[in-house]
Amino acid sequence: MFIVYPFIYKPLNNNIFAILISCIVALQLGSFLVVLESFLSGTIELNSIAKFCTLMQIIHMPIGVLEGILSCVIYYVAKRISSKKMTVLCMILSVILAGLISGYASKKPDGLEWALLNINDSFIADLQNKITLMCVTIQNKCAFLSNIPGAFANLTGVLLVAVLMYFICLFMLQIVKNTGNAKI
């Protein structure tokens, strides 16, 4: 965001094309920086960096294009409907994503996991097994939705976040009213 907004989005005059290009560039830069961070932390070796970078760029390009297209659609729709309708639309989309699509997505490795699994580095496989075991242990101790079936747990999570955001917004509005400040 700190690189893409001033150097890509603003110069392209804040239009739909700028949104699409900004999303793609942001995803590509982010995935490149993950490769750099992985190398600097010692997670991947120097001889794996080119393959890892290529895999990360390949898997994140379609993600960036899809994110860009969706952002353009949201921008286009948001300009043409009221904020209340936009809120309802976003809530419906959240329920669809949480209830249907996330169940499929969580069973598949994400871009980083996919790229790490494809560089054939035994250190990565050992590290992934240790991290998975650690995460399962932590999740079993503190996740209160872990016994709920997948789609229902996702929907419950969306509902909890919506309620939390509602109360945060009420709190922020109260602060604005008490201070007399029109901007948050």
What pLDDT, in 10s, does the model give residues 81-132? 888 888 888 888 877 777 777 666 656 666 666 677 677 655 666 766 777 7
Average pLDDT over residues 27-54: 85
Q: What is this structure's pTM?
A: 0.62
Average pLDDT over residues 153-175: 81
Q: Where are the beta strands (DSSP E) in 37-168?
A: none
Residue at 29: amino acid letter: L
Cα 28 from Cα 56, distance rounded (Å): 8
The domain locations on the chain are 4-142
Res 24: pLDDT = 93
Cα 4 from Cα 21, distance rounded (Å): 9
- In this model, does residue 9 exceed pLDDT 90? no
Q: Which two tokens stand for residue 8?
A: 């890509």
